[in-house]
Amino acid sequence: MPMPFVSNARMYAVSPDAETAWKDLIAHVAEDAGTAFDYVAYPAPQPLENLWRRDDLGCVQMCGYPIALDLADVVPLASPIPAATWAGGKALSRTDLIVRDDTPYRMLSDTFGGTVGWTVAHSQSGFNALRYHLLSYRSEDRPRLYRRSVGHLVTARRVLDSVADGSIDIGPLDAYWHMLVRKYLPGLTEKVRILESTETVPMPAFVAVPAMPSHTVDRLREAFATAHTRPWFAPFRSSLLIDGFELVTRGAFLRTLEWARAAEAAGYLEPG
């Protein structure tokens, strides 16, 4: 009997209702592709890298930077296109740098000398994008921008809560995740605002393992590419704030490595 493959949307399952929407969307895509997946729950704060390293991934969301880092052996399928002006109709991601709404900060430099937070070192939105964005502000006279750097917060939710409760002064949120939280859990974002946002990079992708039969991979890619034309897709435009999907390969994420190399070459190993 062939091994069943699994699906999961932990990265953007910001609430039970959001996760249900993702689970239903994946089921529709899989049906169009002539297959099916066992949806596995994998709630935070369990380490995402353990999920990504499973040998039975069939349709699981994965961050682009760890794809480029080869953190797990996966085949990218497609990435969602956020229904946001900054995405420009493409499968792009950016990072919002948030502060408490009642702080006097008006520009990023106002936060220097305070406390910055980040999630994990293999995260694009929670670490790599933040570090690269800060890189241009450093100088020989000011190699360190913040008095304290609080790392290993693991999840975007903990970054959000830490900014809201004043544990950190500024922190990074995946902008699409931020959109979904504002939709599903608006009370969590009442105390924060966006100070700046980073440049864009390709969105996280749904991935499978190389053991997935190639004909199934091809059918899944076709189902994702045409999803926005299917009658079943319309409700997901509003429930998941997406306009469709864009096919991607590992090469799409190599820009994240360029950002990492630039920071590392400058001796800037972590945001701070």
pLDDT of 2 reads 52
In a domain, 116, yes or no: yes
- pLDDT for 98-111, tens place per residue? 999 999 999 999 99
CATH number at residue 184: 3.40.190.10
Residues 187, 232, single domain; the answer is no
pLDDT digits (tens, 9 = 90+) for 220-247: 999 999 999 999 999 999 999 999 999 9
Q: 227 Cβ partners below 8 Å, 6+ apart? A: 25, 28, 29, 32, 233, 244, 245
- Write the pLDDT tens digit of every residue in 242-272: 999 999 999 999 999 999 999 999 999 999 9
Bridge-partner residues for 150, per DSSP?
117
pLDDT of residue 80: 99
Whether this model's pTM surpasses 0.95: yes
Report pLDDT for 3: 60
Q: Is residue 270 part of a domain?
A: no
Whole-number pLDDT of residue 1: 39
Q: Show the domain range for 103.
A: 92-200
What number is the average pLDDT over the span 49-73? 98
Quote the radius of gyration of the chain (alpha carbons, Å): 19
Q: Decide if 93 contacts 201 (C-beta within 8 A).
A: yes
Residue with tokens 């929407």: 21
Helix residue ranges per DSSP H, 174-270: 175-184, 214-226, 234-239, 254-265
